[in-house]
Amino acid sequence: MHTSYASQQSKQFIYITDIYTEKQSYCNTKVPVRHKNTIEIPGKVVLFPGILTNTKTMQSIVNKTISRIYGNGRGWAFSSNDFVDIYSKEQIDSALSYLAKNQTIRRVCRGIYDYPRYSALLEQILSPDIDQLAQAFARKFNWRIQPTGDAALNLLGLSTQVPGRFKYLSDGPNRTYNLGNQTLEFEKSALKNFGFKHRESGLLVQAIKALGKNHISNTEIEKVRKQLDLTKSKQIIKDTRLVTAWIHDYIKLIYSGN
Protein backbone atom coordinates (compact mmCIF):
# COMPACT_ATOMS: atom_id res chain seq x y z
CA MET A 1 0.00 0.00 0.00
CA HIS A 2 2.80 2.40 0.85
CA THR A 3 4.52 1.88 -2.49
CA SER A 4 1.36 2.54 -4.46
CA TYR A 5 0.55 5.72 -2.59
CA ALA A 6 4.11 7.03 -2.82
CA SER A 7 4.22 6.33 -6.55
CA GLN A 8 1.10 8.37 -7.08
CA GLN A 9 2.67 11.29 -5.25
CA SER A 10 6.24 10.85 -6.52
CA LYS A 11 6.50 14.34 -7.98
CA GLN A 12 6.19 15.89 -4.54
CA PHE A 13 6.41 13.26 -1.82
CA ILE A 14 8.14 10.10 -0.67
CA TYR A 15 6.71 7.81 1.98
CA ILE A 16 9.38 6.12 4.13
CA THR A 17 8.63 3.19 6.44
CA ASP A 18 12.03 3.09 8.11
CA ILE A 19 15.30 5.06 8.26
CA TYR A 20 18.82 4.47 7.06
CA THR A 21 21.50 3.41 9.50
CA GLU A 22 25.15 2.62 8.90
CA LYS A 23 26.21 -1.02 8.92
CA GLN A 24 29.65 -0.17 10.28
CA SER A 25 29.94 1.09 13.84
CA TYR A 26 32.73 1.65 16.34
CA CYS A 27 30.57 0.22 19.11
CA ASN A 28 30.13 -3.48 19.74
CA THR A 29 26.37 -3.12 19.53
CA LYS A 30 23.98 -4.59 17.00
CA VAL A 31 23.22 -2.05 14.30
CA PRO A 32 19.92 -2.13 12.43
CA VAL A 33 20.05 -1.80 8.65
CA ARG A 34 17.60 -0.21 6.25
CA HIS A 35 14.13 -1.74 6.28
CA LYS A 36 13.39 -3.80 3.19
CA ASN A 37 10.24 -1.77 2.50
CA THR A 38 12.04 1.58 2.41
CA ILE A 39 11.17 3.47 -0.76
CA GLU A 40 13.61 5.55 -2.79
CA ILE A 41 12.82 7.75 -5.76
CA PRO A 42 15.74 8.98 -7.92
CA GLY A 43 16.50 12.65 -7.39
CA LYS A 44 14.69 12.74 -4.05
CA VAL A 45 16.11 12.75 -0.54
CA VAL A 46 15.30 10.26 2.22
CA LEU A 47 12.43 11.49 4.35
CA PHE A 48 11.05 10.78 7.79
CA PRO A 49 9.98 7.32 8.97
CA GLY A 50 6.24 6.88 8.71
CA ILE A 51 5.60 10.54 7.84
CA LEU A 52 4.49 12.04 4.57
CA THR A 53 6.64 15.13 3.94
CA ASN A 54 7.69 17.23 0.98
CA THR A 55 11.32 17.55 -0.07
CA LYS A 56 11.54 21.27 0.76
CA THR A 57 10.80 20.51 4.41
CA MET A 58 13.42 17.77 4.48
CA GLN A 59 16.01 19.99 2.83
CA SER A 60 15.34 22.69 5.43
CA ILE A 61 15.87 20.20 8.27
CA VAL A 62 19.08 18.88 6.70
CA ASN A 63 20.42 22.41 6.13
CA LYS A 64 19.78 23.51 9.73
CA THR A 65 21.26 20.28 11.05
CA ILE A 66 24.41 20.67 8.96
CA SER A 67 24.73 24.32 9.99
CA ARG A 68 24.85 23.37 13.67
CA ILE A 69 27.30 20.53 13.02
CA TYR A 70 29.65 22.77 11.01
CA GLY A 71 29.34 25.47 13.67
CA ASN A 72 30.73 23.13 16.33
CA GLY A 73 33.67 22.15 14.10
CA ARG A 74 35.36 18.88 13.22
CA GLY A 75 35.61 16.37 16.02
CA TRP A 76 32.26 17.31 17.55
CA ALA A 77 30.21 14.30 18.65
CA PHE A 78 26.45 14.48 19.06
CA SER A 79 23.09 12.74 19.11
CA SER A 80 19.62 13.75 17.98
CA ASN A 81 19.11 15.26 21.46
CA ASP A 82 21.45 18.08 20.46
CA PHE A 83 18.96 19.23 17.81
CA VAL A 84 15.55 18.80 19.44
CA ASP A 85 15.17 22.57 19.76
CA ILE A 86 15.07 22.73 15.95
CA TYR A 87 12.73 19.87 14.98
CA SER A 88 11.25 16.69 16.43
CA LYS A 89 13.51 13.78 17.41
CA GLU A 90 12.08 11.60 14.62
CA GLN A 91 12.83 14.25 11.99
CA ILE A 92 16.36 14.80 13.27
CA ASP A 93 17.02 11.04 13.43
CA SER A 94 16.11 10.79 9.77
CA ALA A 95 18.26 13.79 8.83
CA LEU A 96 21.27 12.37 10.70
CA SER A 97 20.80 8.96 9.09
CA TYR A 98 20.69 10.61 5.68
CA LEU A 99 23.87 12.60 6.38
CA ALA A 100 25.64 9.47 7.66
CA LYS A 101 24.65 7.54 4.56
CA ASN A 102 26.16 10.31 2.44
CA GLN A 103 29.32 10.32 4.63
CA THR A 104 28.93 13.94 5.70
CA ILE A 105 28.99 12.68 9.28
CA ARG A 106 30.05 9.36 10.81
CA ARG A 107 27.92 7.00 12.87
CA VAL A 108 30.07 5.96 15.83
CA CYS A 109 27.54 4.16 18.00
CA ARG A 110 23.82 3.62 17.83
CA GLY A 111 22.40 7.12 18.15
CA ILE A 112 25.84 8.80 18.42
CA TYR A 113 27.58 10.51 15.51
CA ASP A 114 30.58 12.75 14.95
CA TYR A 115 31.82 15.24 12.36
CA PRO A 116 35.15 13.47 11.66
CA ARG A 117 38.47 15.21 12.03
CA TYR A 118 40.72 15.10 8.99
CA SER A 119 44.52 15.02 8.91
CA ALA A 120 45.99 16.92 5.97
CA LEU A 121 49.37 15.38 6.79
CA LEU A 122 48.10 11.80 6.76
CA GLU A 123 45.42 12.58 4.18
CA GLN A 124 42.87 10.54 6.06
CA ILE A 125 39.96 10.71 8.47
CA LEU A 126 41.00 10.40 12.13
CA SER A 127 39.48 8.26 14.86
CA PRO A 128 36.70 9.78 16.98
CA ASP A 129 37.59 12.12 19.85
CA ILE A 130 36.81 10.00 22.91
CA ASP A 131 36.17 12.97 25.19
CA GLN A 132 33.73 14.40 22.66
CA LEU A 133 31.95 11.04 22.58
CA ALA A 134 31.78 10.94 26.37
CA GLN A 135 30.21 14.39 26.43
CA ALA A 136 27.73 13.39 23.71
CA PHE A 137 26.64 10.38 25.77
CA ALA A 138 26.31 12.59 28.85
CA ARG A 139 24.07 15.07 27.02
CA LYS A 140 22.00 12.28 25.49
CA PHE A 141 21.30 10.54 28.80
CA ASN A 142 21.40 13.66 30.98
CA TRP A 143 24.38 12.41 32.99
CA ARG A 144 26.98 14.43 34.83
CA ILE A 145 30.42 13.02 34.04
CA GLN A 146 34.00 13.58 35.09
CA PRO A 147 37.13 12.17 33.40
CA THR A 148 39.37 10.32 35.81
CA GLY A 149 42.72 8.53 35.86
CA ASP A 150 44.48 8.25 32.50
CA ALA A 151 41.66 10.10 30.74
CA ALA A 152 42.18 13.17 32.94
CA LEU A 153 45.96 13.01 32.49
CA ASN A 154 45.62 12.75 28.72
CA LEU A 155 43.22 15.71 28.50
CA LEU A 156 45.61 17.90 30.47
CA GLY A 157 48.62 16.92 28.38
CA LEU A 158 50.27 15.05 31.24
CA SER A 159 50.35 11.81 29.28
CA THR A 160 51.38 11.54 25.64
CA GLN A 161 50.30 7.93 25.47
CA VAL A 162 46.69 7.52 24.38
CA PRO A 163 45.03 5.19 26.90
CA GLY A 164 43.23 2.11 25.69
CA ARG A 165 40.51 2.68 28.28
CA PHE A 166 38.98 6.07 28.98
CA LYS A 167 37.20 6.08 32.32
CA TYR A 168 34.63 8.67 33.40
CA LEU A 169 32.84 8.96 36.71
CA SER A 170 29.11 9.38 36.21
CA ASP A 171 25.90 9.88 38.17
CA GLY A 172 24.26 7.50 35.68
CA PRO A 173 24.49 3.70 35.50
CA ASN A 174 27.65 1.74 34.82
CA ARG A 175 28.15 1.53 31.06
CA THR A 176 30.99 0.33 28.81
CA TYR A 177 31.34 1.02 25.08
CA ASN A 178 33.97 -0.65 22.91
CA LEU A 179 35.12 1.83 20.27
CA GLY A 180 37.46 0.06 17.91
CA ASN A 181 40.70 -0.49 19.85
CA GLN A 182 39.61 1.79 22.70
CA THR A 183 37.08 1.47 25.49
CA LEU A 184 34.89 4.20 26.96
CA GLU A 185 33.72 3.37 30.47
CA PHE A 186 31.24 5.20 32.69
CA GLU A 187 31.36 4.28 36.36
CA LYS A 188 28.59 5.28 38.74
CA SER A 189 30.06 7.47 41.46
CA ALA A 190 29.07 9.51 44.51
CA LEU A 191 27.56 12.94 43.83
CA LYS A 192 30.45 14.66 45.63
CA ASN A 193 32.60 14.07 42.55
CA PHE A 194 30.34 16.35 40.49
CA GLY A 195 29.95 19.27 42.86
CA PHE A 196 32.04 21.69 40.76
CA LYS A 197 30.78 24.65 38.79
CA HIS A 198 33.67 24.50 36.29
CA ARG A 199 34.77 21.50 34.24
CA GLU A 200 38.43 22.42 34.79
CA SER A 201 37.98 21.98 38.54
CA GLY A 202 37.03 18.33 38.36
CA LEU A 203 39.61 17.67 35.66
CA LEU A 204 42.40 19.11 37.81
CA VAL A 205 41.30 17.24 40.93
CA GLN A 206 41.19 13.89 39.13
CA ALA A 207 44.51 14.43 37.33
CA ILE A 208 46.34 15.45 40.51
CA LYS A 209 44.80 12.51 42.36
CA ALA A 210 45.98 10.16 39.58
CA LEU A 211 49.56 11.44 39.79
CA GLY A 212 49.63 11.15 43.57
CA LYS A 213 50.95 13.27 46.42
CA ASN A 214 54.62 14.28 46.09
CA HIS A 215 54.77 12.89 42.54
CA ILE A 216 54.10 16.10 40.63
CA SER A 217 57.14 17.83 39.16
CA ASN A 218 57.57 21.46 38.09
CA THR A 219 57.58 20.26 34.46
CA GLU A 220 54.15 18.72 34.90
CA ILE A 221 52.84 21.85 36.58
CA GLU A 222 54.00 23.92 33.59
CA LYS A 223 52.33 21.51 31.18
CA VAL A 224 49.04 21.86 33.04
CA ARG A 225 49.29 25.65 33.04
CA LYS A 226 49.51 25.67 29.24
CA GLN A 227 46.20 23.78 29.03
CA LEU A 228 44.27 26.10 31.34
CA ASP A 229 42.70 29.53 31.18
CA LEU A 230 44.72 31.22 33.93
CA THR A 231 42.31 34.17 34.06
CA LYS A 232 39.87 31.83 35.84
CA SER A 233 42.26 31.20 38.73
CA LYS A 234 40.07 32.76 41.42
CA GLN A 235 36.99 30.83 40.29
CA ILE A 236 38.78 27.47 40.15
CA ILE A 237 40.57 27.92 43.48
CA LYS A 238 37.26 28.83 45.11
CA ASP A 239 35.43 26.03 43.33
CA THR A 240 37.85 23.39 44.69
CA ARG A 241 38.24 24.75 48.21
CA LEU A 242 36.54 21.71 49.81
CA VAL A 243 38.73 19.03 48.20
CA THR A 244 41.54 17.23 50.05
CA ALA A 245 44.06 19.79 51.35
CA TRP A 246 47.13 18.55 49.44
CA ILE A 247 45.21 18.49 46.14
CA HIS A 248 44.00 22.05 46.72
CA ASP A 249 47.57 23.13 47.49
CA TYR A 250 48.68 21.87 44.07
CA ILE A 251 45.80 23.67 42.38
CA LYS A 252 46.81 26.92 44.03
CA LEU A 253 50.41 26.31 43.00
CA ILE A 254 49.38 25.70 39.38
CA TYR A 255 47.46 28.98 39.22
CA SER A 256 49.94 31.03 41.23
CA GLY A 257 52.60 30.92 38.49
CA ASN A 258 55.38 30.52 41.07
Report the Cα–Cα distance between both ends of the chain, in Å, rounded: 75
* Pair 177, 237 in one domain: yes
161 and 83 in a common domain: no
Answer whether residue 210 is part of any domain.
Answer: yes
pLDDT digit string (tens) for 30-50? Answer: 333 343 333 343 444 444 444
Question: Which of 114, 135, 161 is at the close of a domain?
Answer: 114
How confident is the model over 50-59, as pLDDT tens digits? 444 567 777 8
Domain limits at 209? 143-256
pTM for this predicted structure: 0.76
Domains contained in the chain, number: 2
Shortest CA distance to 175 belongs to which of 29, 59, 48? 29
Give the span between the Cα atoms of 210 and 163, in whole angstroms. 14
Residues in the chain: 258
Q: To the nearest whole percent, how much of the chain has pLDDT over 90?
A: 59
Own/partner pairs for 33-41, CB < 8 Å, 24+ apart?
A: 37/2, 37/3, 39/2, 39/3, 39/6, 39/14, 39/15, 40/14, 41/6, 41/10, 41/14
Work out the average pLDDT over 14-23: 35
Residue 128 lies in a domain: no
- Evaluated on CA atoms 193, 191, 80, 150, the torsion sign reads positive
In a domain, 124, yes or no: no
pLDDT tens by residue, 171-217: 999 999 998 889 999 999 987 777 799 999 999 999 999 999 988 99
